[in-house]
Amino acid sequence: MINKTLKKDFSKFDASICTMAFIVFSLTVQLLLLVVPTNNLFMAILMSALIEAVFFFAAMFTAGVKKVEFIEATKLNKKISPAMAALAIALSLVCLFGYTNLTNVFVVSLENLGYTPRVSNVAIPNFGVYLIYVVLLCVCPAIFEETCFRGCILSSLKNYNKHAAVVLSALVFMLMHGGPDQTIHQFIVGIICGYAFVYSSSLWVPIIVHFVNNFVAITVLFAYGGGAEEEVFTFVPWSEVAKTLIVALVVGAIATYIVYLILKTLKNERRKFEAKNMSKEERAEVVKQDEELFQSDETPASEAQKDEEKRETIMPQKKKINLEGALNITLWILGGAYLVIEWITTLISGFGVGN
């Protein structure tokens, strides 16, 4: 029997559930990695896919627990126009080339202070391996992570304030990736994907932004020899770092203005696309709902009856909201503390403390 009571949107309490679900599933996968051998290519690929699928599972779990229509709530069902897809690609390219200097300044500053970035183990010796990495590091993260962070977490937080939701979801996105040297880049990508989601009303736009971002990085790595080479640290004078920072801020400001223009265009294009593609059935449904509203044969209840029914409905809802609110705060404290502690621990280990 099909459940017809599924909600169409995530509520404001669902983001904390998704975050905690990710943490629990992620720890489970980490335990699996301790016992499952990954010394052959098939198992390595399988476990890499599973690590990314954790994001998707967290969103699906949240939708299941809260009885939410998963595809509709995450906006995976919202189509986009070719123009919107092109704007998504433009956003990703601006993000890559407009904010790279800011990321580099942050990483160089950490290295000057004694931090050792995590060495990438991505090696792409041939085109076949390149295609595998495109799937594992471009397609899977784009779909799975955007479903979690934008489709679920941002959609939930948007019930408070859309701008705060974009920033908070980007912050969670940054912390969940766990690499301090990628802090600036992940946060900026999270912000841009967040606004792309808000102004397009479709998850496919941030998915494209995320995919292009990773695809360009993997393709450049493949084009320049396949990667997996350890870089030799060279101290950069702080005066040079300061000069680069000034340039990075100027270029970043220009990039931000370009992003604003693209997002504005994206919003207008979405409106045009929706107006153009609103089907006759959708228009007929709106008319039908209006007709049913005015043709109802039900006798209006008295004001006293209405007030009594309203009180009976509101009181249980208030109790439920209070309980959900308390649970929401508890989950955010636990989940937030875990993510921050993990980030700080990774940062400390990068400085060699305790080694």
Residue in the block written with tokens 């493949």: 222
Cβ burial, residue 50 (10 Å; 0-12/13-18/19+): middle
Q: Burial code of 219-256, b = ≥16 C-beta within 10 A, e = fewer?
A: eebbeeeebeeeeeeeeeeeeebeebbeebeebbeebb
Tokens of 272: 């045009």
Which of the 8 DSSP states describes residue 8? S
Q: Burial code of 82-102, b = ≥16 C-beta within 10 A, e = fewer?
A: eebeebbebbbebbbebbbbb
Q: pLDDT by residue for the chain (355 residues), tens digit each?
A: 445 688 899 988 899 999 999 999 999 998 988 887 777 777 777 888 888 999 999 999 999 999 999 999 999 999 999 999 999 999 999 999 999 999 999 999 999 988 887 766 677 888 988 999 999 999 999 999 999 999 999 999 988 888 999 999 999 999 988 778 888 999 999 999 999 999 999 999 999 999 999 999 999 988 887 665 556 678 889 999 999 999 999 999 999 999 999 999 999 999 999 888 766 555 555 445 445 434 444 444 444 454 554 454 555 555 555 777 788 888 889 988 999 999 898 888 888 754 5
pLDDT of residue 48: 83
For CA atoms 113, 114, 117, 118, the dihedral sign is: negative
pLDDT of residue 79: 92
Assess contact for 103 and 185: CB atoms under 8 A: yes
Beta-bridged to residue 68, according to DSSP, are 7
pLDDT of residue 292: 46
Residue in the block written with tokens 């006759």: 280
Q: Burial code of 263-280, b = ≥16 C-beta within 10 A, e = fewer?
A: beebeebbeebeeeeeee
Q: How far apart are CA 16 and CA 13, in angstroms?
A: 6
Tokens of 253: 């400001």
Tokens of 51: 């690590």
Q: Where are the domains of the chain?
A: 14-274+322-350
How much is the CA Rg of the chain, to the nearest whole Å? 24
Assess contact for 132 and 45: CB atoms under 8 A: yes
Assess contact for 126 and 277: CB atoms under 8 A: no
Q: Which of 223, 209, 217, 222 is nearest to 95 (CA)?
A: 209
Q: Which of 120, 148, 77, 78 is nearest to 214 (CA)?
A: 120
Assess contact for 215 and 134: CB atoms under 8 A: yes
pLDDT of residue 10: 93
Assess contact for 218 and 134: CB atoms under 8 A: yes
